[in-house]
Structure 1
Amino acid sequence: MIKSWAFEFFFASREIEPIIQGAGANPSEEVCNEYASKIIPYFQDYVDLWASAEKLGFHGILMSEHHFGGGYSPSPNLLLPLIAERTKNIRIGVMGMVLPYHNAWRIVEEIGMLDILCGGRLEIGTSAGIPGEFKRIGLDPVEARARYDEALEILDAGIKNPVLTHHGKYWNFDELTLVPRPVQANPPVWTTVISVESARKAARRGSKIVTGFIPTEKVKEVFDAYNEEADKCGNPTGPDMCGLRRQVIFEIDEETAGKSEAFGEMFKSMIAKADDRMATSDRKALDSPGKHGYTIGKEEFIGGTPNQAADEIIEQCKESGAGHFQVVFSGDNTLQELAGNWELFGHYVIPKLNAA
């Protein structure tokens, strides 16, 4: 069985945002009312979509954290209880919380609250973040990585211990009582990785991992290193600890034929401009401390009919050793198109992944 997860970026509306952004400072009440009349239903429609993941057969739904435009997910933890209230069994989380932005001990407290509000269904995901976003706030990637590593120490210890002492470079405290506590005895923890080094670190922590962008051959290398390191540490290994994230663009008629290839070229160009970790034909990927280089493989964009997409997903998961698949639906222009792709994935792809 390959477990299916919906990965949601929650893109900003290109029709709604100009209403408020174009008004500048101190927008009028009229502008705010117009914005509210459109943005509130937009949020509600997305919550409806996320809640549908359970009846469509998804194992879980994961939000993402991004900042400074493009999406409505600067604080994705706020969205999780809304999904939990509308569902019963589906797993819910963020993939992942960008720890360099946050106060580490406070995140532990928030995790406790979220696990309670989600009825013990919380998945704890962390991410080191994106250099392009760090640059916007003057945060050096090397410092961000150091903050991330220290925050992980606090998070891992705080999930297990209700009273916490820590002395490090960025946080120093003694005997903090962290409440409320998670209701799960061992809440699942995930780490986003794109390198062997990061995979080995996650293995030593006992964290599950997920990767994307990189070619399937590289994914296998990352997963093999993870399993090797986890085995040395006596931690769990195998497909249930490893997840593959890919972008799916269904091509079901003449109008959508070739859409995945065209989207892939556009996407790679966009990422190359925003993230200097990505290698291009005229630039090597950076691989200095705090920056792991990567190359986006052609396998990142899965096109074709739903049945063809399912076959490709299964092949990549089996080749790499992934027991989880996180789907990102890309190339959609409207929420209606996105919802239609969720339906196609639920009706045609998930049953094949369940049987794999």
Structure 2
Amino acid sequence: MASVTPTLGAARRIVVKIGSALLVDRATGALREDWLSGLAADVARLRAGGAQVILVSSGSIALGRGVLGLAAGELALEHSQAAAAVGQIRLARAYEAALQPHGIVTGQVLVTLEDSADRRRYLNSRATMETMLSLGVTPIVNENDTVATDEIRYGDNDRLAAQVAVTCGADVLVLLSDVDGFYSGNPALDPAARRFDVVERITPEIEAMAGEGISGVSKGGMRTKLMAARVATDAGCAMAITLGSTDRPLSALENGAPSTWFLPQTDPQAARKRWIAAMKPRGELVVDAGAEQALAQGKSLLPAGVTAVTGRFGRGDPVTIRGASGTHLGTGLARYTAEEAKAIRGRRSAEIEAILGYKGRAALIHRDDMAT
């Protein structure tokens, strides 16, 4: 990949991670409404320029514990879950109030680690956010702390934001942090530590510089940010770390504020296609000539074009696609189980509800979930 520093202005889809310390005053537990208003103005400006924006936001536990009067310090799991339940309502309301004056509709998406580990849940999450974005909605994503336990937690929203960026095929991920970039050492302890403007590739030397964490406020520190950078850049998404506490932080980043950019190692779509192509197929679909021609034009595979279904596969599992003559046409992630696919093969999408008893998705395999 060319080592050209990315910019927000050129991005088509942007994921922004916001930590609790930016949203909630640590001393009072109150929402920092002025800061959030500035962020909302930034989001509106990016959208006006043609970008889609997804916000990955912490803050539910911090808001909820203040309402419940819970003491400072580490919370027991049940108290954390209760605080999240109370705070999540307020967090969603705060984003709605901040973005609504700009004519922006918001939607809440709560996820757990299982939602990305399970292919069916992953595809459902991806399809939901894609639909929200296509309808002009700005998704507000957070970990579902009301049900998540240590075994099924992302554990920090840096990792969650990177996964969301990969799931949605984002061009840019921005981590609004309490530091203004990635340093060669901890700048609070080492006066000689220097900030990197650009990291072209995450090497073992770069990893060693992360140490045990530079950030004094965030849960995971710089090590988790570097983990997020690896996940994002390997999937073709550029990532920036910049100071979030300033007013209008996204405008500041675009105008040259101190930051570190991690460069993508590939194209997002190419990375996804390689991931799908590397999977072991669980079944096979045979398609007619019309569907084969449609696939060659980059279209989705509809049930009407399928003539045969073999194998045992579930929703989200990879299947081989073959032409009538046996030609290998590609691999795709099925949106239906093998039994459902057999029931609707050769039928129009409008007939799916009558056959299966529920309103399913129009495509059996969406073009974005296909490697040909």
**As a proportion of its length, which structure holds more helix?**
1
TM above 0.5, one fold? Answer: no
Where relative contact order (Cα < 8 A, 6+ residues apart) is larger, the structure is: 1
Q: TM-score scaled by structure 2?
A: 0.30
Whose radius of gyration is greater, 1 or 2? 2
